[in-house]
């Protein structure tokens, strides 16, 4: 039957209205794995950045999520495109910054880093170059403060002419989720598959660092092979190509909200001793720096132009 031109598309329109609308896909700005995202490499450090598509997402966690805390109330956030480093900043990249500027990091000034060895203790004579664990220049820099991270960002900004900074907590969570809505980008479950995706508290560091028997260290039911930090990009990336958004070192971010200890910064992502509900996209840490810097503190950077 021949239909008038004005009605020819009516069946397709009705079909489109009947199909379910995928709200989460619409709100995330997801670029699928089959779509490589643009990259840019900072010439001064060799730090590679990936361009994250702009979009909207639900930030925070539902009340039903295990580990949900005050401050994680869900809200819709929309972001412009930005660039974020593919990996955490390495010790070698931080060393290049220090060499070029003669910068003195907080851990160097205080001459110790706070380390876990069956209990938290200050290891004197240590700093980011030797933060109480074995590292190479390919490991993430560890034992650095928020001020140290900001200082490196300012130097890279001057060197490159691009606006480089620490990520906001909104940018960080959006990038960590990579278009997913689960508590971790790969799953809601905390099981043995986590050792494929993140360097967290597991059976490897339980054997190395376990607490006394009456207070055993919780751990993931798997072995990732690293009792402390791992070289960057040792674990599978998320769908946007970002490594170690969870685990390895915990990452400094900027925030507009005032917290108990820090007016404008928090830590995200958990670290190599973190477990279970600390490994979530919505989880934040507000560390007291009364004892200085800890050996799990690191960072990654963003470029916003």
pLDDT at residue 34 in the model: 53
And the tokens for 258? 């005032």
Quote the CA–CA distance of 181 and 60 in Å, as a whole number.
Answer: 10
Q: Profile the chain (305 residues) by mean pLDDT over runs of 10 residues.
A: 43 36 36 74 98 97 90 94 99 98 94 78 87 95 96 98 97 97 91 92 78 57 93 97 98 80 81 91 80 89 97
Half-sphere exposure in the Cβ direction for 154 (13 Å, CA): 9
What pLDDT was estimated at residue 2? 46
**pLDDT value at residue 113:** 87
**Angstrom distance (rounded) from CA 228 to CA 130:** 13
What pLDDT, on a 0 to 100 scale, did the predictor assign at position 286?
Answer: 81
CA 65/CA 280 separation, integer angstroms: 10
Q: Residue 176 corresponds to which tokens in the numbers above? A: 């960590």
Q: Which domains, and CATH codes, for the chain? A: 39-303 (3.90.1580.10)
What is the CA angle 93-102-122, rounded to 5? 75
pLDDT number for residue 31? 41
Evaluate whether 233 touches 213 at the Cβ level (below 8 Å): no
How many whole angstroms separate alpha carbon 78 and alpha carbon 81? Answer: 10
CA-CA distance, 194 to 199, in Å (whole number)? Answer: 8
- The residue with tokens 């009947």 is 18
Beta-carbon contacts of residue 284 (< 8 Å; ≥ 6 apart): 69, 71, 72, 169, 266, 267, 268
Q: CA–CA separation, 266 vs 71, rounded Å?
A: 12
Q: What pLDDT, on the 0 to 100 scale, is given for residue 289?
A: 62
Residue 275 confidence (pLDDT): 86
Tokens of 34: 């089959």
CA distance 4 to 13: 15
* pLDDT at residue 292, as a whole number: 72
Provide the pLDDT for residue 191. 85
Say if CB 146 and CB 112 are below 8 A apart: no
The pLDDT assigned to 290 comes to 60
CA–CA separation, 132 vs 169, rounded Å?
28
Give whole-number Cα distances, 38 to 1, 48, 185, 192, in Å: 49, 11, 21, 32
Tell me how far CA of residue 34 lies from CA of 189, 238, 244, in angstroms.
25, 13, 21
Question: CB burial class (10 A; 0-12, 13-18, 19+) of residue 154?
Answer: middle
- Rounded CA separation 232/32 (Å): 23
Residue found under tokens 């590679």: 48
Q: Compute how many other C-beta atoms are within 10 angstroms of the C-beta atom of residue 141.
A: 30
Q: How far apart are CA 89 and CA 104, in angstroms?
A: 17
Contact 267, 276 (CB under 8 A): no
């Amino acid at each position: 039957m021949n239909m008038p031109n004005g009605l020819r598309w009516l069946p397709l329109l009705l079909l489109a209205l009947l199909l379910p609308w995928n709200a989460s896909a619409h709100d995330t700005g997801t670029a699928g794995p089959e779509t490589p995202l643009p990259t840019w490499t900072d010439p001064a450090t060799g730090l590679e950045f990936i361009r994250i598509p702009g979009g909207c997402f639900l930030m925070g966690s539902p009340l039903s999520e295990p580990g949900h805390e005050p401050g994680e109330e869900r809200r819709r956030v929309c972001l412009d495109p930005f660039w974020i480093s593919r990996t955490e900043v390495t010790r070698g990249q931080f060393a290049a910054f220090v060499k070029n500027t003669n910068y003195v990091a907080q851990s160097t000034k205080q001459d110790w880093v706070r380390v876990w060895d069956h209990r938290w203790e200050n290891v004197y004579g240590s700093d980011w170059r030797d933060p109480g664990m074995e590292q190479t220049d390919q490991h993430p820099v560890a034992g650095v403060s928020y001020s140290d991270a900001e200082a490196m960002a300012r130097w890279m900004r001057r060197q490159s002419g691009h606006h480089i900074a620490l990520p906001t907590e909104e940018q960080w969570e959006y990038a960590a989720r990579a278009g997913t809505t689960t508590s971790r980008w790969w799953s809601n479950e905390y099981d043995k598959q986590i050792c494929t995706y993140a360097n967290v508290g597991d059976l490897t560091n339980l054997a190395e660092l376990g607490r006394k028997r009456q207070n055993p260290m919780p751990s993931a039911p798997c072995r990732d092979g690293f009792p402390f930090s791992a070289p960057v990009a040792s674990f599978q990336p998320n769908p946007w190509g970002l490594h170690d958004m969870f685990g390895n070192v915990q990452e400094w971010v900027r925030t507009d909200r005032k917290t108990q200890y820090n007016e404008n910064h928090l830590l995200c992502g958990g670290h190599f001793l973190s477990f279970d509900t600390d490994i979530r996209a919505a989880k934040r840490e507000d560390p007291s720096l009364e004892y200085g810097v800890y050996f799990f503190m690191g960072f990654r950077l963003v470029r916003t132009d």
